[in-house]
Structure 1
Amino acid sequence: MSKKVQYEIEYPVRCSPGILYEFLSTPAGLQEWFADKVDLKDNVFSFSWNGSVEEAEVLEQEEDEFIRLHWLHAPKEEYFEFRIQISEVTNETILVVKDFADKREVKDQSQLWDYQIKDLFHRIGN
C-alpha cells in the first residue's frame, strides 16, 4: 500500500473570512455545498452523500481562520483542512484546502476539490 502525500490547493475568494468560515465549519454551511446532509454531535461531523455516511472528527479550529478534520476511517496522521488567509499584497481572501491522497491520485482529488469549491463559490455568490 502506498503512503499518501499531503497536497494543498489555493482558491481566491470574494467573501469575508467570517462568512466563509460559516460555510466551512457549521452543519448548515457545509450542507450547502459539501454534502447532502450534515450533522454535528460531540465534535464529530456526519456527512451523507446518496445514503452513504462518513464521519470526521474536528481536530482543531480557530474561528475565521481554519478548521482541521480527520476522517474516522483514515490513518491518524491524515486530515483535511480549510484555512482562510488574507493576501498581504492584494488583501484578498484565500481559501487553502489541505488534504492527503495517493501520489498518483492527487490530480483527480484536486479536481474533485475544484468541483466542490466551485459549488461553494456559487452558494456564496462568488
Structure 2
Amino acid sequence: MEDRIKYEMEFVIQSSPSLLYNYLSTPSGLSEWYADNVNSRGELFTFIWEGSEEQAKLLSKKTDERVKFRWMDDVDNEESYFFELRIQVDEITKDVSLMITDFADDEDEVEEGKMLWENMVSNLKQVLGST
C-alpha cells in the first residue's frame, strides 16, 4: 500500500476555544455537525451517517486544544493515519482557528476530503452561530 497523502486545512471560527472543543470532543457535540449521530464507549466513538456506521478510536485529546481519532476499519491500522481537529488561537488577534489534519489515498481523494470538511465545517459554523 502506498503512503497516503496528508493534508491540512484551516478555518477561522468565531467561537471560544472551550465551546468549540465541546463540539469536537463530545458525542453530542459531534452529532450536531459531523455525523447524524455519535455514540461513545470510552475511547471508541461510533459515527452514524444515514444508516451507515463507522467506528473511530480516540487516540488523544487535550482540553480546549485538540482531539485525534483513527478509523477502526483502517486496514493498515496504523497510528500514523488519523484525523485531528486542533484549535489554534492567534496570540495577537485572538482569532480562533480550527486546524484539520487528515489523510487521503490519492490526489482525487484529497479534493473530495477537503470538500467534505468544508461542508462539515460550514455546518459547525451554523451550529455555533458563527458566519
Give the partner amino acid of 2:62.
Answer: E
| Candidates 98, 106, 110, aligned match of 1:106 | 110
Cα deviation for residue 83 of structure 1 reads 0.2
TM norm structure 2: 0.92
TM-score by length of 1: 0.95
SS at match of 2:100: strand
> Is the deviation greater in 96-105 or in 56-65?
96-105
CA distance in 2, matches of 1:85, 1:3: 27
**Number of equivalences:** 126
Runs of 4+ in 1 over 4 A off after TM superposition: none
**88, 91, 103: which one pairs with 1:88?**
91
Counterpart in the other structure of 2:121: 117
Shift of 1:25: 0.3
SS at 1:99 equivalent: strand
RMSD, aligned CA = 1.0
Which 5+ residue runs of structure 2 have no aligned equivalent? none
Distance 2:37 2:105 in 1: 27
Query: How far apart are 1:118 and its partner, in Å?
Result: 0.3
Q: More deviation in 83-92 or 93-102?
A: 83-92
What displacement does 1:59 show? 0.4
**Aligned with 2:60: secondary structure?**
strand
Amino acid at match of 1:112: L
Q: Identity percentage over the alignment?
A: 38
